[in-house]
Amino acid sequence: MEKNFGCFFYLKKKGKDEKNEIDIYLKITVDSAFVQLSTKRKCFKVNWNVKAGRAEGKTDYAKSINMYLDTLQQKVFEAKRKLIELDIEVTPHAIKDLMLGNNINKQKNMLIELFKRHNEQIKALVGKEYAQGTYQIFNRTLNHTIDFLNHYLKVSDIDINKLDYDFIKEFEFWFKSVRKCDHNTTMKYLSCFKKIIVHCVKSGKLLRDPFLGFSMARREVEKQALTESQLQAIARENFGPPRLRLVRDIFLFCCFTGLAYADVQKLKRSEIIEGSNNELWIITKRQKTNTTSRIPILPTAIEIIDRYKDNIQCQLKGTVLPVLTNQKMNSYLKEIADKCDVHFNLTFHIARHTFATTVTLSNGVPIETVAKMLGHRNLKTTQHYAKILDKKISDDMKRLKDYKL
């Protein structure tokens, strides 16, 4: 903050002619620095009060000059206040530039630069405070933001202080129209983007939150899961190609453990622990949330573990199963679905849903226990599966409508 601030008007004589009107100038001083600028007004020397910096008298002539100078002085103080709000150093030249409508000399905070710096910090902490998936979603959001700026504004970067509510709405529309994202996927990306914005607001780089008034509510989506008969069909099918048998086994393992793809891919043999009564448990941390999952291993899952205990890839890596890439897994699952008459898009994540509903909740396992095994931080997340169970019960009961004693 400045130590001394001054704003006053004076007559700037040109030559020795004092019979004509003389130009009125404004001098702005901050500490020892100052600027002078013309007010575009004139006054006779005889009508000028040097001490007051105003025209003397109550004539219309004096009132007109003084009213204009009062307005100009108010603009000086407004410019000073604006600089303070923007956290920009108050200097005479900065005040002058604001008053004249020039670009003020300041360091801009550019969105993409800040986003990249944020992602670099996330990447450096992967495995310590963040999961690899967290970095990946932020990186995808960054790439989408770059594409959106090129599409919407034809620029490669933007000052964060230019972001507003309309920008966010256009970004939402772009995700849904150009990228063909559904509503919840759009909200997932915007949530990552909002974290950058919130950081800028908290650090004082951004004065207002452009998300203010914008709804981030997600829509409830019914989670698909295999029925018991579909699960049995997949388990009993005699697949010819070894790749399909492998994918079927890994998929079934997750149906009976509730592990997500990223968690079964990294699952180490050291995470298979012998508990009480010689039972085997999986004790691992979820890659997505870094929460601990403690899962008693059911017989079907134990059989699959034993089936691959001598696998060379597993022995070299110390892993439980030789998991393929997620893309290949999902591709082969489509073949498995066709072979077993599963008439919906069978993806690897459906194994986790199947564990929550068909394997556990449908068989009377308390929802609190299921939440613990799934590694959910919030019971509300697990309750979505309970709603699916309610629908299943309703569908099953419809078959009894015509039942009579």
> If pLDDT is split at 50, 70 and 90, which confidence band does 172 have?
very high
- For residue 14, is pLDDT > 80? no
- For residue 183, is pLDDT > 70? yes
Q: Is-above-0.75 flag for pTM?
A: no
* Amino acid 305: pLDDT: 95
- For residue 290, is pLDDT > 70? yes
- Give the chain as a 3 state SS string: CCCCEEEEEEEECCCCCCCCCEEEEEEEEECCEEEEEEEEEEECHHHEECCCCEECCCCHHHHHHHHHHHHHHHHHHHHHHHHHHCCCCCCHHHHHHHHHCCCCCCCCCEHHHHHHHHHHHHHHCECCCECHHHHHHHHHHHHHHHHHHHHHCCCCCCEHHHCCHHHHHHHHHHHHHCCCCCHHHHHHHHHHHHHHHHHHHHCCCCCCCCCCCCCCCCCCCCCCCCCHHHHHHHHHCCCCCHHHHHHHHHHHHHHCCCCCHHHHHHCEHHHEEECHHHCEEEEEECCCCCCEEEEECCHHHHHHHHHCCCCHHHHHHCECCCCCCHHHHHHHHHHHHHHCCCCCCCCCCHHHHHHHHHHHHHHCCCHHHHHHHHCCCCHHHHHHHHHHHHHHHHHHHHCCCCCCC
- For residue 278, is pLDDT > 90? no
Mean local confidence (pLDDT), 189-200: 95
* Amino acid 72: pLDDT: 94
- For residue 400, is pLDDT > 80? no
* Amino acid 277: pLDDT: 75
Domain boundaries, the chain: 5-100, 111-202, 228-398
* Amino acid 391: pLDDT: 61
> pLDDT by residue (tens digit) across 229-243?
999 999 999 888 899
> If pLDDT is split at 50, 70 and 90, which confidence band does 106 have?
low
> pLDDT by residue (tens digit) across 37-74?
999 999 999 999 999 999 998 999 999 999 999 999 99
- For residue 325, is pLDDT > 60? yes
* Amino acid 186: pLDDT: 96
> If pLDDT is split at 50, 70 and 90, which confidence band does 336 have?
very high
> pLDDT by residue (tens digit) across 52-62?
999 998 999 99
* Amino acid 20: pLDDT: 84
Q: What is the CATH number of domain 228-398?
A: 1.10.443.10
